[in-house]
Amino acid sequence: MKEIVIPNSYNYIAVFLTLACNYRCSYCINYFEGGTLTRQRLSGRDVVRGLNRIVSRDDLPITLQGGEPSIHKDFIYIINNIRPELNIDILTNLQFDVDAFAANVDPNRLRRNAPYASIRVSYHPEVMDLEETIQKTLKLQEAGFSVGIWGVTHPAQEDIILEAQKKCKALGIDFRTKEFLGEYQGKMYGTYRYKGACDKKFKKRVLCKTTELLIGSNGDMYRCHSDLYAGRDPIGHTLDPDFQIEDVYRKCDVFGHCNPCDLKVKTNRLQEFGHTSVDIKFNVMDDLVAEKVIR
């Protein structure tokens, strides 16, 4: 199969090993548009076959996430068989056996020169116990893993998150906060680049170019999180031997139903604020003539 070369403009590689999760937070961004997230999953062997085609950079890891990635039955196999030239990050709620994990995964495999931890633990006080999360994090930290905790500043639990952050910092744990994205009590929260893009009140045709490679649990690749969660037509598959990334603007007919993850103003992989995952052009008819556009 051909190599999949990541364009220099790309900022993130997300591998959704599964969209399933052992929790169901009331504000989960994966359910922003509603619907079901039940999807097929590739075997660990096929996940690795697809990912090992990727040619990336030292500062651009493959991030294993979900859902909860550790639910995948071949979670540790996948980590241990991705070729060593590819750096690996993990987003997790840490609801797995950390002793077994530490016994079977080399901490150096999940460590690189970066301004944030390679294992990023999502703490959700609505469903998780802080003390358990702290103890598991400390175990991994003591075993040599690069690990930190992140909490979402949801308006209903911001005080709880900030208190947890204070406690973790006193214990030597890197605890950072993330802006809440989505709706709560009829109000949309988040800082977005394009006004109304996530309000779900209209659909507009635009041209959109991403800076992210998003890989679903069945190996399909998507132009954005909205397409991924909605199950719209993919742009390719990790096991398609001829697939190559085309760094172009693509026609989109559902602007206005965007996912907040694609439109939020955030830090990039270097922790520089002001990045947005996609760039959108609104004068579609002119651009259709001037640009190479593919679906």
Could you count the other beta carbons within 10 Å of the beta carbon of residue 99? 12
pLDDT for 96 beyond 70 = yes
pLDDT for 284 beyond 80 = no
pLDDT digits (tens, 9 = 90+) for 46-90: 999 999 999 999 999 999 999 999 999 999 999 999 999 999 999
pLDDT for 285 beyond 70 = no
pLDDT digits (tens, 9 = 90+) for 245-271: 999 999 999 999 999 999 999 766 666
pTM for the structure as a whole: 0.92
pLDDT for 283 beyond 80 = no
Mean pLDDT calculated for residue range 154-170: 97
Q: Yes or no: say if 96 and 132 are a contact pair by the CB < 8 Å rule.
A: no
pLDDT for 10 beyond 70 = yes
CB proximity list for 243: less than 8 A, separation 6 or greater: 2, 4, 221, 236, 237
* Model pLDDT, residue 162: 98
Sketch the domain layout of the chain as residue ranges.
4-186+211-244
* Model pLDDT, residue 289: 40
* Model pLDDT, residue 236: 97
* Model pLDDT, residue 271: 64
What's the half-sphere exposure (Cβ side, CA atoms, 13 Å) at 201? 5
pLDDT for 292 beyond 80 = no
What's the half-sphere exposure (Cβ side, CA atoms, 13 Å) at 19? 22
pLDDT digits (tens, 9 = 90+) for 195-236: 899 999 999 999 999 999 999 999 999 999 999 999 999 999
Between these two residues, 287 and 70, which has the higher pLDDT value? 70
In this structure, is the dihedral angle defined by the CA atoms of residues 7, 12, 15 and 18, taken in order, positive or negative? negative
Mean pLDDT calculated for residue range 26-37: 77
Q: Yes or no: say if 98 and 71 are a contact pair by the CB < 8 Å rule.
A: no
Mean pLDDT calculated for residue range 5-21: 96
| 294 band by pLDDT with thresholds 50, 70 and 90 | very low
* Model pLDDT, residue 235: 97
Q: In whole numbers, what is the pLDDT of the chain averaged over residues?
A: 92
- CATH class name, domain 4-186+211-244: alpha beta
What string of DSSP letters covers the chain? ---EEPPTT--EEEEES-S--S---TT-GGGTT-S--------HHHHHHHHTTEE--TT--EEEESS-GGGSTTHHHHHHHS-TTS-EEEEE---S-HHHHHHHS-GGGG--S-SS-SEEEEE-TTT--HHHHHHHHHHHHHTT--EEEEEEE-TTTHHHHHHHHHHHHHTT--EEEEE--EEETTEEES-BSSTTTTS-S--EEEEEEESEEEE-TTSEEESSHHHHHHT---SEETT-TT-----S-EEEEEETS--HHHHB-EE-TT--EEE-SEEEE--HHHHHHHS--B-
Burial of 221 (0-12, 13-18, 19+ CB in 10 A): buried
* Model pLDDT, residue 286: 47
* Model pLDDT, residue 29: 82
